[in-house]
């Protein structure tokens, strides 16, 4: 990988700073999850992300009207948008009944001194943003691009429910440095992360797995996702030897 020398950090999370009291845990009966395109995002990507969120939580997802890109959040010197600004932008424009907003942008994003981000989610909190800009980098496969996208949606959504980074290298909550590490993770959550997501998000683990598998299969991604093995929860982090967790 040509850019291996750069300290690429793909995923980040923001600790909730205590801002407005948005419901973080447990879905109120009327509360909805919204997927919100920010700027121009291909319809297929928006629909795919909605399907992944829906599968991951077993809840209906609504697609909100796109939010226009704001020049104020753009850093011309970097050619990137500030991810934390996009989170605040999403929150400020969230529909009143929303308890989660998942923003999707086709623009490159970053935060602080990190080169770029694939996504960022409040941990815990009401919002996450995912960039599709680099999904297809270092691969020439549209299937791999979509599998990466699914992993990121699951990862950032997990943060909004308070899931931290996981030491299991194949768990979708693994903190990945570089595309290679990203491709080593799966769309599956280890049992601990899955248990936490189901408890906090009100989902059922067996139904969740079946739904995620259905989305992956429906898009012809089963092979790229690692087949049945890639959909099985990897061993929990507590089972790992210290060597196996280096790099997280
Ligand atoms: Zn993360
Ligand atoms: Zn995990």
Distance CA 97, CA 18 (A): 20
pLDDT at 14: 64
Give the number of whichever ligand sits closest to the CA of residue 195: 2
Query: Are residues 38 and 67 in contact, defined by beta-carbon separation less than 8 angstroms?
Result: yes
Q: Please tell me the distance between residue 173's alpha carbon and the centre of ligand 1 in angstroms.
A: 6
Give the number of whichever ligand sits closest to the CA of residue 15: 1
Residues with CB under 5 A from ligand 1 (ion): 11, 13
pLDDT at 2: 38
Which residue among 156, 191, 194, 213 is the active-site one?
156
Q: Please tell me the distance between residue 155's alpha carbon and the centre of ligand 1 in angstroms.
A: 6
Query: Are residues 53 and 157 in contact, defined by beta-carbon separation less than 8 angstroms?
Result: yes
pLDDT at 177: 81
- The backbone torsions φ and ψ at residue 185, rounded to the nearest 5 degrees and listed phi first, read -75, 170
Q: Please tell me the distance between residue 2's alpha carbon and the centre of ligand 1 in angstroms.
A: 24
Query: Are residues 190 and 14 in contact, defined by beta-carbon separation less than 8 angstroms?
Result: no
- 156 has catalytic annotation: yes
pLDDT at 245: 35
Please give the model's pTM, rounded to 2 decimal places. 0.86
Q: Please tell me the distance between residue 43's alpha carbon and the centre of ligand 1 in angstroms.
A: 25
pLDDT at 230: 95
Q: Please tell me the distance between residue 193's alpha carbon and the centre of ligand 2 in angstroms.
A: 4
Query: Are residues 30 and 55 in contact, defined by beta-carbon separation less than 8 angstroms?
Result: no
Give the number of whichever ligand sits closest to the CA of residue 167: 2
pLDDT at 172: 97
What are the per-10-residue average pLDDT scores of the chain (248 residues)? 41 52 49 94 98 92 96 97 98 91 98 94 96 96 98 96 94 91 96 93 93 98 96 76 36
Distance CA 49, CA 63 (A): 10
Q: Please tell me the distance between residue 29's alpha carbon and the centre of ligand 2 in angstroms.
A: 28
**Domains of the chain: residue spans and CATH:** 29-237 (3.40.390.10)
Among residues 187, 180, 138, 178, the alpha carbon closest in space to that of 10 is found at 178
Query: Are residues 99 and 30 in contact, defined by beta-carbon separation less than 8 angstroms?
Result: no
> 143: alpha, beta or left, given left = phi > 0 and alpha = psi -120 to 50?
alpha
Give the number of whichever ligand sits closest to the CA of residue 234: 2
pLDDT at 241: 45
């Amino acid at each position: 990988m040509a850019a291996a020398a750069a300290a690429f950090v793909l995923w980040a999370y923001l600790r909730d700073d205590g801002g407005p009291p948005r419901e973080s845990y447990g879905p109120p009966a009327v509360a909805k999850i919204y997927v919100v395109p920010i700027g121009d995002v291909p319809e297929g990507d928006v629909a795919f992300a909605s399907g992944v969120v829906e599968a991951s939580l077993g809840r209906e997802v609504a697609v909100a009207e796109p939010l226009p890109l704001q020049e104020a959040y753009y850093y011309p010197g970097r050619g990137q948008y500030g991810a934390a600004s996009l989170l605040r932008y999403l929150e400020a424009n969230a529909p009143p009944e929303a308890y989660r907003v998942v923003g999707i942008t086709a623009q490159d994003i970053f935060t602080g001194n990190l080169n770029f981000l694939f996504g960022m989610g409040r941990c815990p909190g009401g919002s996450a943003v995912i960039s599709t800009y680099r999904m297809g980098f270092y691969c020439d496969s549209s299937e791999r691009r979509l599998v990466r996208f699914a992993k990121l949606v699951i990862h950032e959504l997990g943060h909004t429910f308070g899931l931290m980074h996981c030491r299991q290298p194949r768990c979708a909550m693994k903190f990945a440095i570089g595309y290679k590490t990203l491709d080593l993770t799966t769309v599956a959550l280890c049992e601990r992360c899955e248990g936490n997501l189901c408890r906090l998000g009100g989902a059922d683990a067996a139904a969740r797995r079946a739904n995620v598998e259905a989305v992956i299969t429906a898009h012809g991604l089963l092979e790229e996702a690692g087949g049945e093995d890639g959909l099985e929860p990897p061993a929990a982090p507590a089972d790992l030897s210290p060597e196996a967790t280096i790099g997280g």
